[in-house]
Structure formats: structure tokens, C-alpha cells
């Protein structure tokens, strides 16, 4: 009897091990490949417990979910399915309950890009849809790219995921052992967005373009998602809005930043036009009016924050690192090109965003810094090489190009030095004018 019990025990272990073995599933279109242990169970066994708002992931159902989210995204953008690069999704059961981030990795090969997502075994439905929309948009934008394309607008993926979830409420994600499915929404698609934005202040366009970590993944995430959904919803309704998104996805890899590609579409000519349009949308939706410009003091603080880069240095190998500020000039002269180019692109984008809110007397200074960086980036790291050219990252290290690039660095440093001198002179004049106003006697005191 005892021996029979032992045999039964080991047979049970073998059966459990087999059901826990990872399986590989290819989706209907072939674009998605999912991997993870199947959640098949006997009909008499109870369904596993899961937290509210969470879904247990099964490879087969995850593959179906990917296809359904893609179908909704393509319908919303009114484009056919012309996928070129595959997306691998691995269900990671070793994650802790606190570690529910979905990790996305894009790797370039000679024959194209590969996208890999590491997904926890239990995840929020909204977070899963959001990650899938982001990676699909990235795949669309990089179909013809040799080098990594510029980053997409952060609000585009968040807004589209909100739009398609509103159009198909319930969820695209089929939970194991359930039969729920998404159905079209026939009510007000912005009902929850209005409720959210009437309770909290909407973000400005500049904040939507350059969100902090708290806005994307922290305490302000819901507000950021609501603003993004409103922006994309209205953009899709506006004349030429859909064509603007199409143009952005098709040409992003040809530009240094998403703003350039976006503004070449038929809807907006400048970022100021987008800013004014968004302010009007906010007023119409919530009755709130957004501030257009910062004060002189706020503009100086923003500019100084962009121009300085915190770095850690060690005087000796045994010393603890100290934090100091690196200037743009030191980055140009001392940093390796593969490190400096992404940072300088980010700086140029931040300067472009600052220009929209800068105090009137400081716009020319902000433009000066931005144009200096844009000229350097155009020469040092063009986003699109001519056919037959060596890619810029390899060309930068060739001996015959070193003298040319060294001259480019010195010219750019010279421009930045002149702008720094203008900053000092402008601050001195502003302090003098403020001091004169402070000591000027009033008419009554003069009498």
C-alpha cells in the first residue's frame, strides 16, 4: 500500500512537470510567438485565484490577445496588416508580485528587427494592451529603418491604447477558463476621460511631449493616460489627423526626432500650432485654460537644467563617486560619439520643447543653442545615410574623418561659448534693469 502511494505520488509529479513545461505558440498571422507554461487544468479543478484587474497569462490565449489588439489598432488607424518583423513574448513565472513591468527589447539584425517582451505571469489588462500597442507602433516605424528610429511621441501609444480599449470595452485579454470577449462601445468614448480631467488639471502639451517617470508609470499615470487618450481621440477626428499619424509612422526613421516627421504631415506646421490646438481642446473638454509661457526666472531654470548634465566622477579608483555637472562643450570634446549623440539629440528635443514656453526675451537664446546642436547632429550623425555610404557610427571612427569631425567639434564649441557669453550678458542687463526699477523713486517721493 505504501509502495502504491509512492508510485502515485511520483506519477503526479511527472504529470505536473509536463503541464508546467513551456510551450511555443505562433499566432494566426505569424507575427507573434508566445512562450510559457500552459494553464490547462482538469475540468473539476477550481480556477486559480487572481487579483482584481489582473489576468493570468497562457501562451495560447496571449497569442489570440495579440492578434485582437492588432486588429483593433489597424482598424483605428485604417491601415492594412503589412507586418515585417516578428514579436516574441515570454511569460516569466519567476517574477515577484511586485515586479509587474513588461520589458521590451528591440534588437537589429541584418535581415531586420526582432522585438522581445518579457511579461509577468499575472499582469494588469490595461498595462498589457498598452505594451502591445507600443511595440506594434515601434515595429511599424522601423520597418524600413537600418538604424534605430527616433522615439515615437510618448502620448501616441498611450493615447491609442486608451482609444481602442474604449471602443472595445471589457478587454481584449481572454483570461484562462473564461469566455468574456470585447464588444463594441456605443456610449460616450470620453466619459471617463472627462471625469478624470475635471478632477485634476490636464497636462500641458510640453508635459505630454516630455513626461517624467511619475507621469508615465507613477502617481500621475492615470492623468497622463487620460490626456493622451483625449489628444489622440481628437487628432483622429481632426482634418488630416489620421494622415499625420500615417506620415509619422512611415517617415520617422528618416528624421532626427518625431517632431520633424510629425510637422511634415498635413495638420500642423509648427509645434506652437499643436500647442494652441491642444489648449483649445482642453478648454472645450474641461473648461480649463492652460498657461502659455513661463516667467523669465522659470525659463532660466529650465535652460540651465537642459544645458547641464549630471555625471559621476572619481578622483581615484578607490574613492566614492562624486556628482558634478558636465557642460555641452565638455561632452562634445571628451565623450565618445556613440554616447554623446543620443544625449545631444535629447538635449535638442528639450530645447525645442522649451522654446514653446520660454519667456519672450529669451526665445532667441534658446533657439541659438538648439540650432547649434542641430547643425552638429546633421553633420556628425545624419539619420539617413546615402546608398553605399558607411553608417555614421562606423564612419565616425575612420582616420580620414577624424580631422573633419574635430573641426566640427571646435566650431560647435565656439558657437556654444558665444551663446554662454550672451547668457551672462543678458542676465547682467536684466539684473541691472531690475535694480533700477527697485531704486527708482515714486512721483510722490520726488516731490
DSSP 72-129: HHHHHHT------S-EEEEEETT--TT----EEEEEEETTEEEEEEEEESEEEHHHHH
| 8 Å CB contact between 175 and 64 | no
Torsions phi, psi for 116 (to 5 deg): -125, 135
Q: Compute the distance between CA of residue 260 and CA of residue 251 in angstroms, rounded to an integer.
A: 10
Domain contains 380: yes
Q: What is the DSSP letter of 316?
A: S
Domain contains 2: no
Domain contains 331: yes
Domain contains 123: no
| 8 Å CB contact between 278 and 300 | no
Cα dihedral across residues 46, 48, 54, 57: positive or negative = negative
Q: Which three cell numbers stand for residue 312?
A: 559621476
- pLDDT beyond 60 at 444: no
Q: Which three cell numbers stand for residue 233?
A: 481621440
Per-residue model confidence (pLDDT) at position 179: 45
How many domains is the chain partitioned into structurally? 1
Per-residue model confidence (pLDDT) at position 76: 94
Q: Compute the distance between CA of residue 152 and CA of residue 227 in angstroms, rounded to an integer.
A: 17
- pLDDT beyond 90 at 226: yes
Domain contains 412: yes
Stretch 72-90: mean pLDDT, rounded?
Answer: 93
Per-residue model confidence (pLDDT) at position 268: 93
Cα dihedral across residues 438, 439, 445, 446: positive or negative = negative
Q: Which three cell numbers stand for residue 221?
A: 499615470
Mean of the per-residue pLDDT values for the chain? 79
- pLDDT beyond 90 at 28: yes
- pLDDT beyond 60 at 418: yes
Domain contains 356: yes
CA 37 to chain centre: 31
Per-residue model confidence (pLDDT) at position 390: 46
- pLDDT beyond 50 at 225: yes
Per-residue model confidence (pLDDT) at position 445: 43
- H or E element in which residue 407 lies: helix 399-439
pLDDT (tens digit, 9 = 90+) per residue, 260-312?
999 999 999 998 899 989 988 888 887 655 555 678 888 898 899 899 888 87
Q: Compute the distance between CA of residue 262 and CA of residue 245 in angstroms, rounded to an integer.
A: 7
Stretch 233-248: mean pLDDT, rounded?
Answer: 94
Reading phi first (left if > 0) and then psi (alpha if -120 to 50, else beta), residue 388 is in: left
Domain contains 46: no
Stretch 138-156: mean pLDDT, rounded?
Answer: 88
User: What is the DSSP track for 146-159?
Assistant: SSPPPPPPHHHHHH
- By DSSP bridging, strand 309-313 and strand 87-92 are unpaired
Mean pLDDT is highest, among 44-48, 109-113, 273-277, for: 273-277
Per-residue model confidence (pLDDT) at position 163: 94
Domain contains 202: no
| 8 Å CB contact between 177 and 187 | no
What does the CA dihedral 383, 388, 391, 395 come to, rounded to 10 degrees?
-120
pLDDT: which is higher, 310 or 444: 310
By mean pLDDT, which of 49-63, 65-79, 246-260, 412-426 is the weakest? 49-63
Stretch 178-205: mean pLDDT, rounded?
Answer: 71
pTM beyond cutoff 0.75: no
Nearest to 158 by CA among 229, 79, 59, 258: 229
Residue with cell 541659438: 368
- pLDDT above 90: percentage of residues in the chain: 34
Per-residue model confidence (pLDDT) at position 308: 87
Per-residue model confidence (pLDDT) at position 388: 44
Per-residue model confidence (pLDDT) at position 398: 54
- pLDDT above 70: percentage of residues in the chain: 75
Per-residue model confidence (pLDDT) at position 278: 92
By mean pLDDT, which of 174-178, 341-345, 400-404 is the weakest? 174-178
Per-residue model confidence (pLDDT) at position 430: 83
- pLDDT beyond 60 at 391: no
CA 242 to chain centre: 20
- pLDDT beyond 80 at 134: yes
Per the structure, the complete domain to which residue 335 belongs is given by 294-315+323-384+392-437
Q: Which three cell numbers stand for residue 24?
A: 511555443
- H or E element in which residue 323 lies: strand 322-326
Amino acid at each position: 500500500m505504501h509502495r502504491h502511494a509512492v508510485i502515485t505520488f511520483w506519477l503526479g509529479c511527472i504529470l505536473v512537470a509536463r503541464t508546467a513545461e513551456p510551450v511555443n505558440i505562433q499566432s494566426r498571422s505569424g507575427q507573434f510567438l508566445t512562450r510559457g507554461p500552459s494553464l490547462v487544468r482538469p475540468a473539476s479543478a477550481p480556477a486559480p485565484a487572481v487579483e482584481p484587474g489582473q489576468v493570468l497569462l497562457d501562451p495560447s490565449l496571449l497569442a489570440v490577445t495579440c492578434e485582437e489588439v492588432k486588429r483593433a489598432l489597424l482598424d483605428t488607424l485604417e491601415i492594412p496588416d503589412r507586418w515585417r518583423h516578428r514579436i516574441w513574448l515570454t511569460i516569466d513565472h519567476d517574477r515577484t508580485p511586485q515586479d509587474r513591468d513588461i520589458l521590451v527589447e528591440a534588437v537589429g539584425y541584418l535581415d531586420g528587427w526582432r522585438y522581445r517582451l518579457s511579461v509577468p505571469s499575472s499582469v494588469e489588462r490595461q498595462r498589457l494592451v498598452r505594451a502591445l500597442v507600443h511595440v506594434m507602433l515601434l515595429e511599424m516605424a522601423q520597418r524600413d529603418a537600418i538604424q534605430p528610429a527616433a522615439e515615437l511621441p510618448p502620448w501616441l501609444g498611450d493615447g491609442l491604447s486608451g482609444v481602442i480599449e474604449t471602443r472595445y470595452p471589457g478587454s481584449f485579454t481572454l483570461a484562462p477558463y473564461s469566455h468574456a470577449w470585447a464588444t463594441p462601445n456605443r456610449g460616450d468614448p470620453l466619459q471617463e476621460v472627462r471625469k478624470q480631467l475635471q478632477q485634476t488639471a490636464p497636462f500641458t502639451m510640453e508635459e505630454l511631449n516630455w513626461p517624467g517617470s511619475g507621469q508615465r508609470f507613477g502617481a500621475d499615470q492615470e492623468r497622463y493616460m487620460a490626456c493622451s487618450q483625449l489628444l489622440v481621440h481628437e487628432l483622429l477626428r481632426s482634418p488630416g489627423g489620421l494622415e499625420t499619424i500615417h506620415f509619422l509612422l512611415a517617415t520617422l526613421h528618416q528624421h532626427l526626432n518625431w517632431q520633424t516627421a510629425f510637422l511634415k504631415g498635413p495638420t500642423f506646421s509648427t509645434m506652437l500650432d499643436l500647442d494652441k490646438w491642444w489648449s483649445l481642446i482642453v478648454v472645450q473638454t474641461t473648461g480649463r485654460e492652460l498657461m502659455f509661457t513661463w516667467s523669465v526666472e522659470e525659463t532660466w531654470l529650465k535652460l540651465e537644467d537642459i544645458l547641464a548634465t549630471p555625471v559621476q566622477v572619481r578622483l581615484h579608483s578607490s574613492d566614492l563617486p562624486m556628482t558634478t555637472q558636465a557642460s555641452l562643450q565638455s561632452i562634445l570634446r571628451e565623450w565618445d560619439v556613440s554616447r554623446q549623440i543620443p544625449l545631444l539629440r535629447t538635449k535638442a528635443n528639450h530645447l525645442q520643447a522649451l522654446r514653446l514656453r520660454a519667456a519672450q526675451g529669451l526665445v532667441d537664446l534658446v533657439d541659438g543653442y538648439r540650432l547649434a546642436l542641430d547643425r552638429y547632429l546633421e553633420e556628425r550623425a545624419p539619420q539617413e545615410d546615402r546608398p553605399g555610404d558607411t553608417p555614421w557610427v562606423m564612419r565616425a571612427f575612420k582616420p580620414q574623418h577624424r580631422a573633419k569631425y574635430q573641426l566640427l567639434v571646435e566650431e560647435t564649441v565656439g558657437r556654444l561659448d558665444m551663446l554662454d557669453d550672451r547668457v551672462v550678458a543678458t542676465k547682467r542687463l536684466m539684473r541691472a534693469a531690475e535694480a533700477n526699477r527697485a531704486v527708482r523713486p515714486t512721483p510722490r517721493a520726488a516731490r
